[in-house]
A and B are shown apart, each in its own frame.
Chain A
Amino acid sequence: MSSQRLPTRAGELIDRSTSLSFTWNGRSFSGHEGDTIASALAAAGVEVFSRGMKYHRRRGILTADHWDPNLSVQVGDEPNVRAGSRRLVDGMQVSAQNAWPSLRWDLGTANQLVGRFLSAGFYYKTFMRPQFLWHNLYQRILRKFAPGGRVHWKTGTHGDYDKRYAHPDVLVAGGGPAGMAAALSAAEAGASVMLVEQEPELGGHLRWGGPDDLTVLADLREALYSTPGIEVLCDSIVTGRYDHNWVAVMQRSHPVVPERLIKARVGSLVVAPGLVERPYVFAGNDIPGVMLAGAVRRLINLWAVKPGSRAVVLSANAEGDAAVADLESAGVAVIAVLDARAGEDIVQVRGRGRVASVQTGDGRTLKADLLVTATGWSAPTSLLNMAGDRPVYDKVAARYFPQSLPDNVLATGGIEGDGSTAELAAHGRETGALAAQRALRLRHERRTQTARSVRPESTPPASVPDNRIPLRRSPHPECYRSTTHGLVDYSEDISSKDLIQAAGEGFDSIELMKRYTTVTMGPGQGKLETVNAAAVLAEVRALDLADIGTTVWRPPFSPVSLGALAGRIFEPVRRSALQDWHEANGATNLLAGQWVRPDHYGDPMAEATNVRENVGLIDVTPLGKLDLRGPDVANLLNLVYVNRWQKLEVGRVRYGAMVTEDGVVSDDGVTGRLADDHYLMTTTSSGAGAVWEMLEDWLQTYRPDWEVHVTPVTGGLTSINVAGPRSRDLLERLVEDVDLSADAFPYFSVRTGTVSGVQDCIIWRIGFTGELSYEIHVPSGYSLHVWESLVSSGSDLGVAPFGIEAQRILRLEKGHYIVGQDTDGLSKAPTAGLGGLVKLDKADTIGLPELRAAFERTDLPVLVGLQPDDPTIVPEEACQIVAAGSNEILGRVTSSRMSPTLERSICLAQVDPSLASAGTSVTVKLVDGRRITATVQEHHAHVDPEGARQRV
């Protein structure tokens, strides 16, 4: 391989004073700062960069930019890197993809021998039978042939991806002359602007243009970077436009993260992506050495790489003509220029590993190593499609143009029409000004409507009609396919023959053809292929291209790394003020919703026993707590709970259960009356947020006349349950101003007092364990002090912490049900055993009609206490209760544990009403299929059903 590096070019991007070392398939190479991976390799004489997906034919440079389908390479651990635009970095380890054992000797070329079996839709026709081979054989084989690079999950070198938000008034997608001008004029009009360019530098086609273009580019760049209010993101790409101008931008080459997804809420989106030069379809069009005019111009002018020695050029436009001039200036012998405008054509290229000869339409065979085609452009209208536009085909200009756009999306540049650099820039400036004007009107409106903003003093900017002078549409010949067949989709290895076959099989609508053949579904997402595919279909169906339509382009505009989509993953967790103490004292945690909680401290059975015999402490801070104030609190409670609340006295506590409008039990808890107009409601831990929302919903919408203020205080009050026969003894040592005696502070009462020197603690005489029990709500900033005081003061009383698991055991022994575990989304109040609680004669309660209906029914499941006849067997929760002689489901176990108090297994279960009578024997089907018998108990409570232990 000889060096193809040219002498210095006027607009070259490379810094020849630098030398960057890298490897390509294990061999050492060097390049310069500013080189792409592809340009550095091409300068070193590399001609083959990849293999085709299906047939594994050699592939060389085609477009020499981001969209080049032949330049996907593996860089270190990163797969599918676009070597046509990725800048070279010292030390890069680059290798070819989709070739084994090597790029030079690829066994996949054997596919060429069976090529006729790999035609359109082959995977719909093969690998179908026998079906059992799909998992065992076919899938494995196909996986071996999957194209693309490899992600090495375990190496961990991918870094952290990231996300951020942005709110520019105007976002310009495309940094060519029109895009740059649009950004400038928008900023000059007072808008904040984000300019996004997919290449590492601004300029678009000006970069490889002549001296005049380079001068214009330099001026535009200087103006852009010196104008405040413009954020320029190069090597970044707008990947999608969504409702309300939510625009996704993938920022690459960030100094800290490999990629960052920017979620931009944009006032006006200016779409200025330029045009994508499309390949020409003919026999041999994928042989290395077949390049587009833009590719040779970029190689020569940006990276000073000589693309070949003897060139044939097929030109249908000025870009092709300019390529001829560039080739000659680079010392390439241009042996023939075929003018497509005059009907000249090429029909075939021959060569093995590199172009060797070109057969022209007039029958000549020309010896050449380079064929350059300039047969037209496709408009990358993806972002316009995403905004609802359906671009229309213009036969004269031989490409698609925008048709109808919403006000907040504007197009400019080549996608809108043709013109000189000055004309494109002028259109861009007009577009930018219009975009800014519309965005600033929107901003004015937002400021007017947003409470926190500075209210605009002026009237909104006047609405300005779109008076832009349209860019012209230059005539261009329709050059899509020669008289021979060649590749239409380089990424998917789809030829014009495949498309014709698909149409013949009935897949003759463009959308069906796309899905059947996978044409346009490769990494380029149709940028090079869509129009050629439609043209082939139009040819087959003998229709105008305009009548064929196009596929609908959806996000992403360009492939996006999954890591970037995931970005930073935020999973909030909640910790009580005591959580550090728990962890320092041996707690094993569990995650209950968002709460990190101690499951146990080593031996939950012992913890439960200690509560029964001595005194235990549990941190129940996640218990929902709502501070209710106002004269109508009792009315509110009466509405949301199924029982009565009008006569609750100050200092007293009542249990309440809530049901939804359809009568299903939704939450429960106790509420205490702290003062005349002041209550504290508790909810389940998981239901705190929902109950708060529900209360606010009722107060703000259905009962706005009620005077009630609801303040969530869950985290502000650390909740400590002190449970066990010696709990009063312990608390008496620390509580200063509350009489804890049974007479003065009876069961289901609440007091406010000082605990261990901490004032304003709320002390409840309630519990979930069935023991004498107090729940202390302590201002969280001081709660560790109170907890530690309880621990240190009660060592002689046997005080010990207990976790969630011990609490579950204790509450099950006591028969307390848990909403959501022992009830479900169908459990109405009678099922949960709330018959005595529900007051059907109340004037109003949420779900009252359904409750009345439910209590008339006799078929609802019933929650019962259940004990397996074999006391050593603990049925898993959710085990089914079935009919004795069959698998007919008659209920299920909702909770089960081994009781340390009774030294036997205990359960709660929902059963068919026919099985709910005490003493009924039921059959429980265990997870392993065994059947056991269990007996329904008289009470839910297995321990102390009379409640004697908790009322002392």
Chain B
Amino acid sequence: MSELEFMSPVGSGHLSTSDGGISLEDISDCTKVLVRAGRGTAAGVHLKVTYGRSRRRRDGTLICGSRPDEWTLLAGPGQGAAVVGSVSDEGFVSIVDISHGRAMLRISGSDSVDVLAKVCNVDLADDMTPDGAVFSGSVAKVTCDLVRDDRDAGRSYLISCERSFGGYLFAAMADACAEFGINVPAGLSVH
């Protein structure tokens, strides 16, 4: 199976402006593992992240406290087994590889906040949504999980949604980006 290519639900790749104001990237192929662990389990203790916050593990895995007693672990493509294996399943713990079930986009750049403000009614001010913040919200009317995951000292957000909405969500985000200089490819229409 190793030669099989992961098929993204987005299929539109990467859009960006030349001035770096906006970059919109499909990263649906990244590994996503959902961990649900009851209070007092080893998994809950070791993941060490509270609901609403995230931290990056030494191996690069981003651990997101996505809901009370629930974590989403994000890593590079093809690391599902390793990430699943890295979490203790002692006690009442569920570890589900949801890599295939979630589309994921990354939007970065100085205009990213303004783009998101067109499709998402969440206060993204630094004190309300600092780097590392994990939250849920409606993005272009799709229920999404978001993480502020700044890169190179610049704003960057991860947005994930149920896989089947991925193509639509990318089109909606590209549409929102158009105002800031993104050339939306023909056929990628939200309407």
- The answer for the CA separation of A785 and B6 in the assembled complex, in Å, is 10
A residues near B36, Cβ cutoff 8 Å = 709, 711
Which of B16-24, B94-102, B104-112, B151-159 sits within the interface? B94-102
Given the contacts A452-B129, A758-B1, A570 and B134 also touching, CB distance less than 8 Å: no
A932 within 8 A of B: no
Question: A577-B9, A627-B96 in contact; A450/B38 too (CB < 8 A)?
Answer: no
The listed residue (B34, B118, B126, B140) touching A572 by CB distance below 8 A is B140
Q: A679-720 CB contact bits vs B (8 Å, 1 = yes)?
A: 000000000000000000000000000010101111111000
Q: Are A757 and B1 touching (Cβ within 8 A)?
A: yes
Complex CA gap A289/B161 in Å reads 62
B188 located at the interface, meaning its Cβ lies under 8 Å from any Cβ of chain A in the complex: no
Pick from B4, B38, B122, B167: contact of A782, CB under 8 Å: B4
Q: How far is the CB of A114 from chain B (nearest CB, A)?
A: 48
A453 and B134 form a contact (CB under 8 A): no
Q: What is the CB-to-nearest-CB distance from A924 to chain B, in angstroms, rounded to a whole number?
A: 39
B7, B65, B118, B162: most-surrounded residue (chain A CB, <10 A): B7
Inter-chain contact A570/B190, CB cutoff 8 Å: yes
B133 within 8 A of A: yes
- Digitize B100-144: 1 where CB-to-A-CB distance is under 8 Å, 0 elsewhere: 111000000000001001111111011111100111000011100
Q: Which residues of B contact A265 (CB under 8 A)?
A: 121, 123
B135 pairs with A452, CB closer than 8 A: yes
A54 within 8 A of partner (CB): no
Within A830-881, which residues are at the interface with B (CB < 8 Å)? none
Q: Which of B33-72 contact A (CB under 8 A)?
A: 34, 36, 38, 50-53, 65
Q: Tell me whether B165 and A707 are in contact (CB under 8 A).
A: no
Q: Within the complex, which residue of A162, A580, A717 is in contact with B101, where a contact is CB–CB below 8 Å?
A: A717
Complex interface bits, A393-425 against B, C-beta within 8 A gives 1, otherwise 0: 000000000000000000000000000000000
How many Å from the CB of A267 to the closest CB on chain B?
10
- Asked if A452 contacts B53 (CB within 8 A), the reply is yes
Q: Contacts A780-B101, A784-B7 hold; do A574 and B168 have CB atoms under 8 A apart?
A: yes
Is B26 interfacial (CB-CB < 8 Å)?
no
Inter-subunit contact A780/B163 (CB<8 Å):
yes
Q: A452 near B163 (CB under 8 angstroms)?
A: no
* Given A452-B134, A759-B1, A783-B7; A621-B164 close (CB under 8 Å): yes
> In the bound complex, do residue B128 and residue A575 qualify as a contact, i.e. CB atoms below 8 Å apart?
no
Chain A residues near B129 (CB, 8 Å)? 452-453
Identify the interface centre among B4, B100, B122, B190: most chain A CB within 10 Å of its CB: B100
A454 near B: Cβ within 8 Å? yes
A785–B7 Cα distance when bound, in Å, is 9
For chain B, the bracket of interface size reads: 35 or more
A159 to B134, CA, bound (A): 36
Provide the bound-state CA to CA distance between A595 and B179, in Å: 29
CB of A949 closer than 8 Å to a CB of B: no
Partner of A781 from the list B94, B100, B127 (CB cut-off 8 Å) is B100
Interface segment among A163-171, A554-562, A807-815: the answer is A163-171
| Chain B residue contacts of A452, Cβ below 8 A | 52-53, 128-130, 133-135
CB distance from B77 to the nearest CB of A (A): 10
Interface residues of A in 166-194 (CB under 8 A from B): 166-167, 192
Chain B residues closer than 8 Å to A622, beta-carbon distance = 164
Q: Does A256 contact B (CB under 8 A)?
A: yes
Smallest CB gap from A779: residue in B: B100
- Whether the Cβ atoms of A450 and B128 lie closer than 8 Å is yes
Chain A residues numbered 789-810 whose CB sits less than 8 Å from any CB in chain B: none
Tell me which residues across on chain A come within 8 A of B102, comparing CB atoms: 715-716
- Please report the C-alpha to C-alpha distance between residue A449 and residue B133 in the assembled complex, in whole angstroms: 14
- Within 761-785 of A, Cβ neighbours of B (below 8 Å) are at 779-785
Distance in angstroms between the alpha carbons of A164 and B177 in the assembled complex: 12
A708-744 near B? 1/0 per residue, CB < 8 Å: 0101111111000000000000000000000000000
CB distance from B107 to the nearest CB of A (A): 15
Residues of chain B lying within 8 A (CB to CB) of residue A573: 165, 168
Residue of A257, A443, A629, A780 ringed by the most chain B CB atoms within 10 A = A780
Instruction: Determine if B149 is an interface residue (Cβ-Cβ < 8 Å).
Output: no
Bound Cα distance from A446 to B123, whole angstroms: 11
* Chain A residues positioned under 8 Å from B4 (CB to CB): 757-758, 782, 785
Q: Complex: how many Å from CA A257 to CA B178?
A: 11
- Assess the A571–B141 pair: CB atoms within 8 A: yes
B92 interface neighbour in A163, A257, A707, Cβ under 8 Å:
A707
Instruction: For A453, list chain B residues within 8 Å (CB).
Output: 52, 127-130, 133
How would residues 743 to 761 of chain A score, 1 for a CB under 8 Å from any chain B CB and 0 otherwise?
0000000000010011100
B25 within 8 A of A: no
A713 interface neighbour in B8, B101, B122, Cβ under 8 Å: B101
Q: Is the CB of B118 within 8 A of A715?
A: no
Q: How far is the CA of A713 from the CA of B102 in the complex (A)?
A: 9
CA distance A256 to B123 in the complex (A): 23
| Bound Cα distance A452, B128 (Å) | 7
**Residue of A with least CB distance to B50:** A451
What are the 5 A-B residue pairs with the smallest beta carbon separation, nearest first?
A716-B101, A451-B52, A715-B163, A574-B164, A452-B133
24 A–B contact pairs at CB < 8 A? A164-B114, A165-B121, A167-B125, A256-B179, A257-B179, A447-B128, A451-B135, A452-B133, A568-B175, A570-B140, A570-B141, A570-B172, A577-B163, A629-B94, A630-B94, A631-B92, A716-B99, A716-B102, A757-B4, A758-B1, A758-B4, A780-B100, A781-B8, A782-B100
| Other A-B pairs beyond A165-B118, A450-B52, A452-B135, 19, CB < 8 Å | A164-B117, A165-B121, A446-B123, A446-B128, A453-B129, A568-B175, A569-B191, A570-B140, A570-B141, A572-B169, A573-B168, A574-B162, A622-B164, A709-B94, A711-B98, A716-B98, A758-B1, A781-B6, A781-B7
